[in-house]
Every structure is written in structure tokens, then in C-alpha cells.
Amino acid sequence: MSLAWDLEERGTGGLKEACGVFGVYAPGEDLFQVTKYALYALQHRGQESAGIALSDGRQVYLKKGMGLVSEVFTNYKGPLKDVEPVAAMGHVRYLTSSTPRRATPENAQPLLVRSRQGCLAVAHNGNLINADELRDRLEKEGSIFQTSTDSELIAHLVARYGSHDLESSLKGVLPFIRGAYAFVFMAEKQVFGVRDPYGIRPLSLGLWNGHYVLASETCAFDTIGAETIRDIEPGEMVIIDGEGLRSVQILPSERKALCVFEFIYFARPDSNICGKNIHLVRKELGRQLAREHPVDSDIVTGVPDSSLAAASGFAEELGLSYEMGMIKNRYIGRTFIRPTQKIRDIGVQLKLNPVQKVVEGKRVVVVDDSIVRGTTSKKLVEMFFRAGAKEVHMRISSPVVISPCCYGINIPASRELIGYKKSVDDIRRDIGATSMGYLSQEGMFKAVGIAKEELCLACFSGNYPIDRG
Ligand code: AMP
């Protein structure tokens, strides 16, 4: 039985979240504002809820709510504004369509608990694969959960099995959890950043006004005026406090498995992961796609925003003209996470519209970064033909998605994936394109510039790097 089948039948356990996290230790600075600005920069990683926790060195204060950072924090007048902080952390959350009932205020993060070790605030990006198992065990031992988040699970593990201080407690309990995680923890006088031993989700370290900061993506550092120092290493925990920064390799990293989808779709183009700029990687994905699937055409256009870099690379490689053939309504959120197919169909039209005068009578190449269910591509092809395009050549700057993600990206069960059920030619027919081409896996490794042994490719290959145990 393959893991993909197993995931599809049983669900992936826990929540699938690709969120954004931030942490800073900087006594005397305006940490409420700086955390808010960092969360604005990470908003693309999650639009469902937002939260900030501040510590004044004695207590931790929290404000979180449903919606965008601006919705939760504009006109905020609560206690966080009066605290004289030493440390702060924040979280933006993104949730899958398969678990809409979990989109509740209690599940917003950071999660704040008070235990015998003191205050602990937790923010998580990723998804634990043994969450159900651990939760069952803790419940049998008497733990009562108030949320369905992996963060609360960690908090219970620390409270139950931890020792006197947070640092040794985390060292003690983190080996029990399996899956993808980039955590920021905060106690009264310390901030911690931890990345799972595979390094599936990103987490970077920066320096802001002489203080250390942590963020899911480096674009948050640019926004607050911090300098990027480096990525947190897989299996590494950093501890930031009044003494500065310490690093501990808490778990051995035998195999790295950075999520390749961060490069393809998820991360912001101005961020760097592993020292590689996301925009430039996407452009190279487009160039490689053009080498593999060239096409005689008049214009190349991308699906805004995530595919524009790949479309420009595609056009440059073939010496074709790159055009703004499609406009995105920026005031509508991501359609992908809408719960039903009918709403998803309308969502694409609400969000995207071809520029008729640009595409009319032309042979158009449309580059998109990925196809998941096929909803977007089918609508796009229909819209371009309706706008008068003579031919619509669909080009995808990633390989065929065949398996769900259990590490935090919203990629649904196999049965919903068009690439799982159909051949490329059937997909072409289904979406009504003149021609169709996906980037090969080899082409993707070449463009990303990271060895395939160091990437998580589960959604493209069905091979999951973490043993379910
Ligand atoms: P679909 O319409 O289901 O085939 O989804 C593909 C479209 O959604 C593409 O235009 C992608 O840019 C975008 N996309 C791909 N993966 C995700 C994701 N995990 N969350 C939100 N949007 C996505």
C-alpha cells in the first residue's frame, strides 16, 4: 500500500498548514509594530488568521484573530500596545479546504499556555505526521485539548514530559514528533527557532538593529530593515536571549528534504531560500520549460502573480514577446482554498481576466506554475479563446502533481488531482488547450539548482521522505 493511498483514505492527520512565523528578541524596541510589519510581509503564507504575542520579561500577552493582519491589527487598542516588550513573535495561518471546520478562532496562533515551566507561546509552520497518535496518547493520560493544532500538542508534551526549563524541555520532547516543522517558541525571556531534521519548511535568521530575528522568509527581513544572516539548519535549534544567540543541533539530519513547492509556488519572489532567489529560480524554471517544450507562437503570458517570472523566462529563452495578457484582481483572496468546486470555478473568473486587445487573433502561450485539480487551467483556456486567441498553448513550470502533501502545502487527495488520474494528453483534451507541456523532474532539479536527494518531491513522485514509523 503506498503512502499516497494511505493519506487519501485516512486523511493526513493534524492540520495541513503552510503558515508564516516570525520571532524577535530586542528589549526596548517597538516590537508590536515590527512584528506586525513582518507579518504583512508574510501574508501570502496565510490569510486565515493572524496573531502576535509579546513578552515584557515577566508575562506573555497575546492578540490573535481571524482574517488578514490588517483586519486583526488595524485600530487595535489593546494591551499589546502598552507592554514594554523584550521579545515578540507572530503567525499567519493558512488552512486547507479539506478542514474548513478547523478555521476557528481557537486554532489561530500563536498559542499561549502557562505551565510549570512558565509561559510558552508557540507558532508552527508545517504539519506533523504523528499528531493523531501523540494526541491519543496524551488524551489517554488525561490531557484536555482546546484546539486541533499541532502547536497545542507540543505545548502538552512540554508540560507533561518537559523538565524545569524550556530549553531542555524542547530538547527532550522534539525527538517524539515527526513531520514538517518550523517552530518559533517564546518564553518570558527567550525566543527559540527550530527546524525539523529534513528542513522541509523554511526558516531564516536575520539581524535587525543588532538584534536577532527569525522569519519563515527573508522578505520579512527586507520589510523591517533587517539583514539576512542564514537559514536555520535542518535539525537545528537557535536560542535567542539576553546573552545573544546560541545554536544546538538537537536532531541529526541524515537526509535534507526542502519542499520544492516553496520555489515553484509558495514563497514570495523577493525571498531567498538556501541562498537562492525565488524569482530567479522561477525564471530559470520557465527557461528550462521552453527548452523542453518550445512552441511557435506570437506572445507569451503568465498567470499572475506566481507564474510571471516563469513566463518571462520562457519568452526570453525562445526570443518571443512577453505580454501582460492577463490581469489579476488583487482584492480577491486565493481561490484555491474555496471549499466547493462550483465556487472554485466562479472564483477563477472573479480573480483573472484576459486582456482582449493583447490576445485577440494571437497564438498565445500561457505559462502557469502548477496544475493541481485542473480548475484554473480549464477556465484560463476557455477565457483566452473567448477573448479571441487563435491558439492557446498551456505550459506548466513544474512536473505533474500526482500525490497529496502531508507536510503543510494544500495539495488535496490523489483522487482530486488531475495529474493522478490522467495522462498529459488527456489533460490537454480535458482543459481544451491547443498543446500542453509540463516541465520534467530533471529539468526542475536543474533549474532549482539543488540535488534531488536534498528536496522533498512527494507531490511529484509519491515518495515521502519521512518514514511514518
Ligand atoms: P488548480 O486550479 O486546482 O489546478 O490549481 C492550480 C492553480 O492554483 C495554479 O494557478 C497555481 O498557481 C495555484 N496553486 C498551486 N498550488 C497551490 C496551493 N497549494 N495553494 C493555493 N494555490 C495553489
Could you give the 3-state DSSP secondary structure of residue 11? coil
What pLDDT, on a 0 to 100 scale, did the predictor assign at position 129? 93
Of 93, 305, 336, 422, which is best to mutate to test ligand 1, by the most ligand atoms within 8 angstroms of its C-beta?
336
Residue pair 130/372 in contact (Cβ under 8 Å)? The answer is no
**Closest ligand 1 atom, CA of 376?**
2
- What integer is the mean pLDDT of 357-364? 98
**Which residue intervals of 293-374 are DSSP H helices?**
308-318, 341-351, 356-359
Tens-digit pLDDT profile for residues 120-177: 999 999 999 999 999 999 999 998 999 888 889 999 998 888 888 889 999 999 999 9
Nearest CA owner, ligand 1 atom 22: 336
What's the 277 CA to ligand 1 centre distance in angstroms? 21
Q: Which three cell numbers stand for residue 321?
A: 514577446
What's the 370 CA to ligand 1 centre distance in angstroms? 6
Is residue 3 very low, low, confident or very high in pLDDT (cuts 50, 70, 90)? very low
Q: What residues are annotated to the active site? A: 19
Q: For cell 526542475, name the residue.
A: 444
What's the 212 CA to ligand 1 centre distance in angstroms? 34
**Closest ligand 1 atom, CA of 379?**
2
In this structure, the residues whose C-beta lies within 6 A of any atom of ligand 1 are 265, 303, 306, 334, 336, 368-377, 409-411
Is residue 102 very low, low, confident or very high in pLDDT (cuts 50, 70, 90)? low
Domains and CATH numbers, the chain: 19-254 (3.60.20.10), 276-449 (3.40.50.2020)
What pLDDT, on a 0 to 100 scale, did the predictor assign at position 339? 54
**Closest ligand 1 atom, CA of 369?**
12
Phi, psi angles (nearest 5°) of residue 410: -75, 85
Maximum distance among all alpha carbons in the chain? 72
What pLDDT, on a 0 to 100 scale, did the predictor assign at position 9? 29
Of 12, 265, 344, which is best to mutate to test ligand 1, by the most ligand atoms within 8 angstroms of its C-beta?
265
Is residue 99 very low, low, confident or very high in pLDDT (cuts 50, 70, 90)? low
Closest by CA to 395, choosing from 279, 312, 269, 290, is 290
Tens-digit pLDDT profile for residues 185-217: 999 999 999 999 999 999 999 999 999 999 999
pTM: 0.92
What's the 113 CA to ligand 1 centre distance in angstroms? 35
Q: Is the pLDDT of residue 119 over 80?
A: yes
Tens-digit pLDDT profile for residues 210-254: 999 999 999 999 999 999 999 999 999 999 999 999 999 999 999
- What integer is the mean pLDDT of 444-461? 97
